[in-house]
Structures are given as structure tokens and as C-alpha cells.
Amino acid sequence: MRLAFTLEYDGTDFSGFQSQKDVPTIQDSVEDALKKITNKNTRINYSGRTDAGVHALSQVCDFETNIKRSNKEWINGINSNLPSTISVKDIFKVPNSFNSRFSAIERKYSYVIYNSKNKPLFLERNSYWVRNSLDIDLMKKQLQSFKGEKDFSSFRSSNCNSKNPTKTVKEINLTTFNEFIIITIIANAFLQNMVRIMVGTLIDIAKNENNMSIQDILDKKDRKIAGKTAPACGLFFLGPKYTDELQLNTCEENIFDRYKI
């Protein structure tokens, strides 16, 4: 049978999600935990390959097993063998054809900016501190140019190996709460560092350090024209969305509600 589970983690101390040699990763931690409770080497699929330092509220993973346990036993067993910064939230039985990555129809990210002259002492690991005054109205206006099916060549890492730079942004919005600025993006898929470059460029525009519009930067299809890559600490993967038939309620709706900020 195949089981899927939702996972949350603070990515600060990890070199990304995907397994790598000689560095700590989320995938290795989860697979090590599964091995301890199943006595088998278990390879997991995952819905999004988050980079080093990026966090997740509802990463989705799946694996195959013949072991029958209650959901509570699976969750408690895995969590008892994970670092304190990684936690399984829920677990589901899914069709054998299910794949966390390829079955997803869209993915959702939020980026957290802390805009204040005072340092976010207790949120430094989970937000990007920007001391400059930002033109919020300008940011809201400019980010609308990202919406729709676009070529995001200007907003991809130079190391990105995706063959197709065209992605469809289904929804993008900016909300504020006290000193927090949250940019949330839903798309069918993302290029490497795409969200962080989008956010970094919006910040540069809002600080009047880049006089080009987002549309002009998209049209240039040149990474050198876009702004700086925003740091990983502010980025949260809220999760993927699947078809209603799978009955997987995995994606966090709102980062404000999740952390009560």
C-alpha cells in the first residue's frame, strides 16, 4: 500500500530537502526515521524540492509499505525519530498510482518580510528583515504583472535545469500585518529560486533601486536584469494541491492564521 504524509520543518539547519552526500537534508532525516521504525530502506517521493534554508508548513511525501499501523502509530513513530525542527502532521492512505510530485496540480508559497528599523529578534530564522521603507502600493501594483502564463527566464537561478521556463501563476497577492509583509504565490510549478528572485526584485523596485517594471523585466528574459535573490529564511512552502478525488487537504491556506501573527 502507499501512504502519504504532510510534513512541516524549519529549513535553517538543512542543506535543502533533497538527499545530498555528506550534508544534512530533510529527505535523509525522514528516510532515516522510517528505517528505524520499519527496519527497511525506504525511499520517499516529495511534492517540492525546497532549497537550503527554506521552510515548509505542508510538504507532502509518499512511500510504499506492507506494514499495517494506525495513523497515530505512524505519526508518533516517525516523529520520535526526527529532529525537533521536522514534524509529520498527518498521514493518508492513497492510491498506488499517487506520486507527491507528479500528482500535484499546483503549489503554494509565501514569503515573509519583516519591514522595520528594529531587528526581528525572535523571528530572525523565519523572515527577511528589511530596514528600508518600502512602497507597498507600488509592490501590489507591480506584482500583478506576474499573474498568468509567462516566461520566467529573468526569474530563475543560473543553476536551474528546468527545460521549460514558462510557468502559470494562478494567484499572487500581498498582505500586511503590523511590520509583516506576506507575498503569497500559487502556480502550477516553480523554477529554481523563482519566488526569491521575484520577491527580491519587488523589494528593489519598492526601494527605488530598480527603475524597470516587472513586465519589462519579464520581457527581457535575462536574469541579470532582475533584482537580487531574497534570502531563503523568509520563504515558506505552504504545500501542493491535488484533485478533489484524492481527498487530500494538504495546503495551508494562510500563513497568518497558521502562526497567529
Catalytic positions are 51
What are the grid coordinates assigned to 150, written together?
Answer: 509567462
Pairing of strands 180-187, 166-177: antiparallel
Q: Are 79 and 9 in contact (CB under 8 A)?
A: no
Q: Are 111 and 199 in contact (CB under 8 A)?
A: yes
Q: Three-state SS for 139?
A: helix
The string over 71-92, giving b where at least 16 C-beta atoms fall within 10 Å of a residue's C-beta and e elsewhere, is: eeebbebbeeebeebbebebbb
Identify the helix (H) or strand (E) that includes residue 34.
helix 26-38
Q: Are 215 and 202 in contact (CB under 8 A)?
A: no
